[in-house]
């Protein structure tokens, strides 16, 4: 609905109307004087004189009112709806945007706003959709001061989202205040999540490194003091210090590996890789260490022929090396570890299975979180807590995911499904 203003004729001055009434009264007085002239000449002269005086006063007052009306600023009525140009600009915005009036009633919203929030009926109170006290306070401040305001707020339902909101008065003129407010939303959910992850990452990495560093410092002080001349203690402490230094080295290597993978996880891996060859290389790498722990590695389906998929060979070796290493670490009590391939139509499933103590259901959803560890049992093995996080990020790059099946006392199976390359793709 376009903006319209009443014409000048729609604002007659009250004093002009008074002047007109005075003129009419004077004319009536002259008529009465004429009538009285027939009866008494003196009375008629008096009445006529009063009528002339009334006419003169009314004329002067009317002229003054006219001058004031022409010189004073004319007030425009505030429009109820934004005009077509404002709507066109708001509709072209890629971010969610609303236009409300000074009473905080919704007057317009673009398509992005409808997708993000759903549009309430036009004319409804805008704050009813959000119910955020900080947003309402900023809106009221913008109306009161007729100045731009900024605010940030978060939503918990229907999903967790963070928003940065700019409130901008629009449509102001010299004579009037801004009749409308533009509410512009910017989604900061991803930025907030990354900032939170970065903070958690630094805190967790610092904690993980502090423990072995404290252990090394303590042993060094002991060797320099009470155990200076104790050869057996020195050998034992040096072995522990070597383990702690190796743990720090593994942690730093995993951190560097995770950082490198995360920087390119959005880039699709497009090499032709034979999964049978990848799993064969991993089995050969861990065959001797697993046998020393009493967990021989068995294979299934690796001799069925090449299973070609799109991927990065080195990264896929890292994925299954992590899975086999975990199976050897935490599969104690089992009889073996199985590494295999299963073809299912146009897809292939690569899996690593152990028959150890298994994982409780409450731990399974969090296994791929950074630094999350399930420290149960008596194995005494303590990993960096980054292996499965590395696996997850590599698989994101390969457009697939890790599946976990486990139950306490029944072992665990970690599997990944890949689409097989078509024959035409295999030959290119």
- State whether 12 and 51 are in the same domain: yes
Residues 258, 259, 260, 265: what is their CA dihedral angle, to the nearest 10 degrees? Answer: 80
Residues with Cβ within 8 Å of residue 190, at least 6 apart in sequence: none
Across the chain, what does the average pLDDT equal?
Answer: 79
The domain of 92 spans 84-187
Q: What are phi and psi of 281, to 5 degrees?
A: -65, -40
Residues with Cβ within 8 Å of residue 18, at least 6 apart in sequence: 58, 61, 62, 65
- State whether 292 and 204 are in the same domain: no
- State whether 107 and 202 are in the same domain: no
Identify the CATH number of the domain in which residue 200 sits. Answer: 1.10.287.130
- State whether 46 and 60 are in the same domain: yes
Q: Is residue 1 in some structural domain?
A: no
pTM: 0.54
**Number of separate domains in the chain:** 4
Stated length of the chain = 428
Where residue 15 falls (left for φ over 0; alpha for ψ -120 to 50; beta otherwise) is alpha
| Peptide bond before residue 158 is cis, with ω within 30 degrees of 0 | yes
Tell me the per-residue pLDDT of 276-330, one tens digit each, with 9 for 90 and over. 999 999 999 999 888 888 889 999 989 888 899 999 999 999 999 999 998 988 8
Q: Is residue 78 in some structural domain?
A: no
- State whether 198 and 182 are in the same domain: no
What is the pLDDT, as a whole number, of residue 249? 83
Last residue of a domain, one of 125, 153, 187: 187
What is the pLDDT, as a whole number, of residue 387? 84
- State whether 179 and 218 are in the same domain: no
Mean pLDDT of 327-348: 87
- State whether 296 and 403 are in the same domain: yes
Last residue of a domain, one of 212, 247, 263: 263
Q: How confident is the model at residue 273 (pLDDT cuts 50, 70, 90)?
A: very high
Q: Is residue 79 in some structural domain?
A: no
What is the pLDDT, as a whole number, of residue 123? 86
Q: Is residue 202 in some structural domain?
A: yes
Tell me the per-residue pLDDT of 385-411, one tens digit each, with 9 for 90 and over. 788 888 998 998 888 999 999 988 889
Q: Is residue 201 in some structural domain?
A: yes
Degrees, nearest 5: CA angle 360-364-370: 125
Residues with Cβ within 8 Å of residue 164, at least 6 apart in sequence: 150, 151, 152, 185, 186, 188
pLDDT above 60 (res 2):
no
Q: How confident is the model at residue 40 (pLDDT cuts 50, 70, 90)?
A: low
What is the pLDDT, as a whole number, of residue 232? 84
- State whether 232 and 339 are in the same domain: no
- State whether 238 and 214 are in the same domain: yes
Q: Is residue 381 in some structural domain?
A: yes
Q: How confident is the model at residue 349 (pLDDT cuts 50, 70, 90)?
A: very high
Poorest-confidence range of 87-91, 258-262, 317-321, 323-327? 258-262
What is the pLDDT, as a whole number, of residue 5? 35
Asked if residue 233 lies in contact with residue 198, where contact means CB atoms within 8 angstroms, the answer is: no
What is the pLDDT, as a whole number, of residue 224? 86
Poorest-confidence range of 162-171, 331-340, 350-359, 375-384? 375-384
Residues with Cβ within 8 Å of residue 296, at least 6 apart in sequence: 290, 336, 337
Q: Is residue 3 in some structural domain?
A: no
Last residue of a domain, one of 160, 187, 214: 187
- State whether 298 and 377 are in the same domain: yes
- State whether 412 and 284 are in the same domain: yes
What is the pLDDT, as a whole number, of residue 122? 84
Asked if residue 297 lies in contact with residue 290, where contact means CB atoms within 8 angstroms, the answer is: yes
Sheet with 412-419, side-by-side order of all strands? 297-300, 337-344, 347-354, 412-419, 402-406
Q: What are phi and psi of 109, to 5 degrees?
A: -150, 145
Q: Is residue 341 in some structural domain?
A: yes
- State whether 411 and 343 are in the same domain: yes
Identify the CATH number of the domain in which residue 120 sits. Answer: 3.30.450.20
pLDDT above 50 (res 31):
yes
């Amino acid at each position: 609905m376009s903006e319209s203003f009443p014409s000048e004729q729609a604002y007659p001055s009250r004093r002009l109307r008074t002047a007109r009434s005075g003129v009419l009264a004077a004319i009536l007085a002259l008529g009465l004087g004429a009538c009285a002239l027939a009866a008494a000449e003196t009375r008629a002269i008096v009445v006529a004189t009063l009528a002339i005086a009334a006419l003169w006063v009314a004329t002067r007052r009317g002229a003054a009112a006219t001058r004031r009306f022409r010189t004073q600023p004319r007030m425009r009525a505030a429009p109820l709806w934004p005009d077509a140009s404002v709507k066109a600009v708001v509709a072209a915005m890629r971010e969610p945007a609303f236009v409300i009036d000074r009473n905080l009633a919704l007057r317009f919203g673009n398509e992005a706003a409808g997708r993000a929030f759903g549009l309430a009926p036009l004319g409804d109170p805008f704050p009813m959709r959000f119910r955020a006290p900080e947003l309402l306070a900023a809106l009221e401040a913008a109306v009161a001061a007729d100045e731009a305001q900024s605010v940030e707020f978060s939503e918990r339902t229907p999903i967790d989202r963070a928003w940065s909101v700019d409130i901008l008065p629009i449509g102001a003129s010299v004579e009037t205040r801004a009749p409308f407010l533009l509410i512009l939303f910017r989604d900061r959910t991803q930025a907030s999540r990354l900032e939170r992850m970065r903070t958690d990452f630094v805190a967790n990495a610092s904690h993980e490194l502090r423990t072995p560093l404290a252990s090394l410092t303590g042993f060094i002080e002991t060797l320099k003091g009470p155990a200076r001349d104790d050869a057996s203690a020195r050998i034992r402490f040096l072995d522990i210090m070597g383990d702690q230094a190796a743990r720090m080295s593994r942690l730093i290597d995993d951190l560097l590996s995770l950082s490198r993978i995360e920087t390119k996880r959005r880039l699709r891996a497009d090499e032709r890789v034979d999964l049978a060859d990848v799993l064969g290389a991993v089995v050969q790498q861990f065959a001797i260490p697993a046998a020393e722990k009493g967990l021989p590695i068995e294979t299934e389906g690796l001799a069925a022929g090449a299973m070609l998929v799109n991927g990065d060979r080195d990264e896929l070796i890292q994925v299954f090396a992590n899975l086999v290493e975990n199976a050897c670490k935490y599969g104690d009590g089992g009889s073996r570890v199985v590494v295999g391939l299963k073809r299912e139509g146009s897809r292939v499933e690569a899996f690593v299975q152990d028959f150890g103590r298994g994982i409780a259901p409450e731990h399974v959803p969090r296994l791929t979180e950074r630094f999350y560890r399930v420290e149960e049992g008596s194995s005494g093995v303590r990993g960096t807590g980054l292996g499965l996080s590395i696996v997850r990020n590599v698989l994101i790059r390969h457009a697939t995911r890790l599946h976990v099946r486990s139950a306490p006392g029944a072992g665990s199976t970690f599997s990944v499904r890949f689409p097989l390359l078509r024959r035409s793709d295999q030959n290119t």
